[in-house]
A and B are shown apart, each in its own frame.
Chain A
Amino acid sequence: MATAMILLPRSAIRAGDLITLKAMISHPMETGFRRTETGGEIPRNIIRQFSCRYMGELVFSCDFHPAIAANPFLAFPLVATRTGPLEFVWRGDNGFLHREQAMLQVSAS
């Protein structure tokens, strides 16, 4: 099972603040370009897509190719508007699917 880590700002967030979200997931991101000692191909096994939703709305997403490093890490900004759920989804080869949720606490400015 993959484990994922979400990092939200530790300080209090007020409406309108520009915050940084960080997300990391454990995954080998096997490129499909490596071989075993006996010359057999190691099949590709990567995360293909990531998406982040804030209160149900898509705010950021991406497509990964084998050149993204193992245990993909992402950091990206978000304008906090009000308290609401954040949902992070990773999808990949071999039916890989991982979901994480977090509640973003926002106080009125």
Chain B
Amino acid sequence: MSRRFSPPFATEATRRTVLAGAAAVLGLVSTRRVAAEPEDMARAILDFTGGIEPRSGKVTLDIAPLVENGNAVSFEVLVDHPMKPEDHVREIALFTDKNPLPDVAVFRLTPHMGKAHVVSRMRLATTQHVTAVARLSDGSFWAERREVIVTIAACTEE
């Protein structure tokens, strides 16, 4: 794959300035968003919870604190809660605050799983926060947030 990475020390701001400059020179109008703002993550989380602020606890988000390559970052979410038909974890959603979009994935769980545990891999455009939110069958929401430092970004490079 021929991808050109910006040097790891180039800041997001510099890159954006260069891109914006190039677009201006070429007379292009770009409506594309470069990155979601932290408020967008907060809004996406409240959209998911229906306006309820998630409590901290129950959720363990296991993700490396420092990754070299943002293209495939392994993560694991474990919710410390029973998986009985009458009381279980219904959903686990993941959000980021500086990817182009705040949403990553929504996992729908059932009591057949026996344990609220999911493993997958995500992209991280830059150093940022990742939040895992769990929706329980009683309507409560629980979350954990982690910061991940990324030295080679994903998503937006050409």
What's the Cα separation between A59 and B97 when bound, in Å?
30
B20 at the interface (CB under 8 A from A): no
B113 at the interface (CB under 8 A from A): yes
User: Which chain B residues numbered 100 to 129 have a C-beta less than 8 Å away from chain A?
Assistant: 100-101, 103-110, 112-115, 117-124
Residue in B94, B113, B122 whose beta carbon sits within 8 Å of that of A69 in the complex: B122
Q: How far is the CB of A100 from chain B (nearest CB, A)?
A: 17
B158 nearest in chain A by CB position = A35
A66 nearest in chain B by CB position = B101
* Cβ contacts A24-46/B at 8 Å (1 or 0 each): 00000001011111010100000
Q: Are A78 and B122 in contact (CB under 8 A)?
A: no
Q: Are B71 and A77 in contact (CB under 8 A)?
A: no
A97 at the interface (CB under 8 A from B): no
Question: Given the complex, which residues of B lie within 8 Å of A65, measured CB to CB?
Answer: 101, 103-105
Q: Are B121 and A67 in contact (CB under 8 A)?
A: no
Contact size range, B? 35 or more
**Which chain B residues have a beta carbon within 8 Å of chain A's beta carbons?**
26, 28, 32, 71-73, 94, 96, 99-101, 103-110, 112-115, 117-124, 154-158
Q: A67 and B101 in contact (CB under 8 A), knowing A37-B158, A60-B110, A79-B113?
A: yes
User: Which chain A residues numbered 36 to 80 have a C-beta less than 8 Å away from chain B?
Assistant: 36-37, 39, 41, 54, 57-70, 72-79
Q: How far is the CB of B18 from chain A (nearest CB, A)?
A: 13
What's the Cα separation between A78 and B69 when bound, in Å?
31
Question: Given the complex, which residues of A lie within 8 Å of B123, measured CB to CB?
Answer: 31, 66-69
Q: Are A69 and B101 in contact (CB under 8 A)?
A: no
Q: Are A34 and B158 in contact (CB under 8 A)?
A: yes
Q: Are B72 and A69 in contact (CB under 8 A)?
A: yes
Question: Given the complex, which residues of B lie within 8 Å of A69, measured CB to CB?
Answer: 71-73, 120-123, 154
Question: Given the complex, which residues of B lie within 8 Å of A78, measured CB to CB?
Answer: 112-114
Question: Given the complex, which residues of A lie within 8 Å of B96, measured CB to CB?
Answer: 67
What's the Cα separation between A100 and B25 when bound, in Å?
49
What's the Cα separation between A71 and B113 when bound, in Å?
23
Q: Are B114 and A68 in contact (CB under 8 A)?
A: no
What's the Cα separation between A78 and B103 when bound, in Å?
26
Residue in B28, B107, B121, B124 whose beta carbon sits within 8 Å of that of A62 in the complex: B107
